[in-house]
Amino acid sequence: MDYRTPDLYFEKQTTGLPVRNRRLEKARIDVTAFLGFAVRGPVNRPVRITSWKSFESIFGGHTNDYYLPQAVFGFFANGGREAVIIRVARASGDSAAQAARVVMKDLYGRNTLKVTAREPGQWGNKVKVRLSAASKPPRTQLKSTLAKGATEAHVDLIRGFEPGAVVRISEGPRQEYVRLERVERKKLVWSAREALRGEYTDLSQATIEAVEVQLTVQSPFGFEIHDNLVFDPRHPRALVKVVNERSTTVRIEDLGSRTPSPFNIPQADVDEALAGGADGVGESTPADFIGRDDGLGNRSGLLALEDQEDVGLICVPDLQAGLEKGEFKNDGDVEAVQQAVVDFCERHKTAVALLDVPRGYDVDQALDWRARFDSKYAALFYPWLRVQDTVGRPGATRLVPPCGHVAGLTSQVDQEQGVHRAAANLVLNHVIGLERELTKDQTDVLAPEGVNCFRAFRGRGIRPWGARTVSSNTSWQHLSVRRLFIMVERSIAEGCEWAVFETNGWDLWKAVERQISTFLYQCWREGMLVGQVPEQAFYVRCDEQLNPADVREAGEFHCEIGLAAVRPAEFLVFRIGQQAKDIITEEPVS
């Protein structure tokens, strides 16, 4: 810029590298979605959590009725970072999930306040609410007597008094109620329509006290006290407004009783129990897990994940509970839901389904279950895991599906070593046994078919002993290879969005080629790709041969990428030889 005349000059300064020259970042693919039943929490709405404590506070923690809590606990206990929880429940009909509620009556017996549990579920039937007088309501002494027909009072203190508040003026047994219109310096003013009917002359006894209440909420998850509230929507500390903003247990609604204030306040010091809450599990079907798509913001079940683009793993641990508590007729319904999850992953191509073989299956049945699926976007695990029962009698155990523990271990491996490392032969935390102990012979039958087994090793804990997909295509039989390609594809898709609407020519081709090559070179350096030199590990091709005139005329841009992904060393073969003169005997040991 040419500066000649004294003045203010503004220059636009660009910081950092241009978008086309920035390095691609590896996309996270360890965010895990869980679909299942819970004690409480929002229904059919994805909720992101980053710790077990978050799950407890939102969805209610452990229970022996469902398997979702144990799966999520196992996820975080084994290194999981972020989960998306979808609480499945029946949404319509007589058996739909319902929130517990109670209607409180005022001193005249009219309905005045409706209290409803925050979320549907039977947990709400254990909630009790009590309304009582505030612990320390604003109170002041009169500085001058009040004559009959008075509309203002001179007082010692005005702290805590607000316009719109109802106050009680009393002297001994005599009392009257007025609503404040103004609060001035050392003076309280009310309407002429509420002019006093009596006289208050004994300054030693005459007081003015705000009519404020305290709402106590008692639930299985804690105790809440909401104090110094006013039963008037216009007040800054309005009961309905404050409780609905602060309470994690209930929400309330003013029913607009015609009873004059303050007698429209619910009856005090009476415990009111909420009732009518239902989990919506009793008649749940596969359709409730699969869900409905009624448009953005109105999706349920599995289809609610349509908007969660960063989900990389999907677990459905409560299908057994569907058989035990819901309306699942047989294992065919379990298969239907699992197949829907697999189809969802196949359609989106950005996530992998972690499937559980149903509980109680023997080896032959597990092989039969494996034969029902063929996908490079799914993996199957067997048998179930035995964990401590945190809500049963001391020392008790229970069986849980393994998907959550495996997802957590996968997330931990992604963080520490990378997506190219198979989440196998690593110790599972918070697991004390297996549904059935598998011998090496049984594992030899299951593993080649794509059934990922768990094995217990003396002194080495319980470990996943396989990380394969259920694909019949041998090119995609390794789960780590599938997930590596998902990570690369998502990283390139997110990092090259800048190229859309750029001029489709040599400069664009080379910029994209350079950006992707730099990213893949870093992947090779981190051991994700095979090859002694980068040329053996990958190639990126973006030229005129791939983008001829007719392709460019159609507004298309083509780039060809080839990868040589590393594969896990599943079979380690050592040859131990014994030499006697000129004779060598070799024995293979695996």
Q: What is the pLDDT of residues 198-224, one digit of tens each?
A: 999 888 899 999 999 999 999 988 899
Q: Mark whether 305 and 432 lie in a shared domain.
A: yes
Q: Which pLDDT tens digit goes with each residue over 165-191?
A: 899 999 988 899 999 999 998 999 999
Q: Mark whether 318 and 437 lie in a shared domain.
A: yes
Over residues 59-63, the mean pLDDT reads: 91
Domain holding 441: CATH number? 3.40.50.11780
| Number of domains composing the chain | 4
Is pLDDT at 96 greater than 60 in this prediction?
yes
pTM: 0.85
Q: Which are the contacts of 405, defined by CB distance < 8 A and separation ≥ 6?
A: 71, 74, 75, 77, 78, 385, 428, 429, 430, 431
Q: Mark whether 452 and 368 lie in a shared domain.
A: yes
Over residues 53-57, the mean pLDDT reads: 94
Cα 228 from Cα 217, distance rounded (Å): 15
CB 547 within 8 A of CB 509: yes
Q: Mark whether 199 and 117 lie in a shared domain.
A: no
Q: Mark whether 158 and 228 lie in a shared domain.
A: no
Residue 13 lies in a domain: no
Residue 487 lies in a domain: no
Range with the poorest average pLDDT among 21-25, 49-53, 423-427: 21-25
Over residues 517-528, the mean pLDDT reads: 94
Q: Mark whether 244 and 184 lie in a shared domain.
A: no
496-499: long-range contacts, CB 8 A cutoff, minimum separation 24: 496/24, 498/19, 498/20, 499/20, 499/557
Higher pLDDT, 222 or 34: 34
Domain holding 255: CATH number? 2.60.40
Residue 90 CA, distance from chain mean position: 19
Over residues 305-326, the mean pLDDT reads: 93
Q: Which pLDDT tens digit goes with each residue over 339-364?
A: 999 999 999 999 999 999 999 999 99
Residue 390: the pLDDT is: 85
Range with the poorest average pLDDT among 11-20, 297-306, 523-532, 538-547: 11-20
Q: Mark whether 405 and 256 lie in a shared domain.
A: no
Residue 26 lies in a domain: no
Q: Mark whether 245 and 388 lie in a shared domain.
A: no
Range of the domain at 69: 31-92+282-480
Residue 567: the pLDDT is: 86
Residue 17 lies in a domain: no
Q: What share of the chain is helix, strand, coil (3-state, %, to 5)?
A: 25, 30, 45
Last residue of a domain, one of 210, 242, 264: 210
396 is written with which tokens?
A: 């008790």
Q: Which are the contacts of 173, defined by CB distance < 8 A and separation ≥ 6?
A: none
CB 204 within 8 A of CB 190: no
Q: Mark whether 468 and 353 lie in a shared domain.
A: yes
| Residue with the two structure tokens 């196992």 | 74
Cα 26 from Cα 518, distance rounded (Å): 12
Cα 59 from Cα 36, distance rounded (Å): 11
CB 39 within 8 A of CB 63: yes
> Would you call 523 helix, strand, or coil by DSSP?
helix
Q: Mark whether 267 and 302 lie in a shared domain.
A: no
Last residue of a domain, one of 210, 233, 255: 210
Q: Mark whether 160 and 69 lie in a shared domain.
A: no
CB 453 within 8 A of CB 382: yes
Over residues 523-550, the mean pLDDT reads: 92
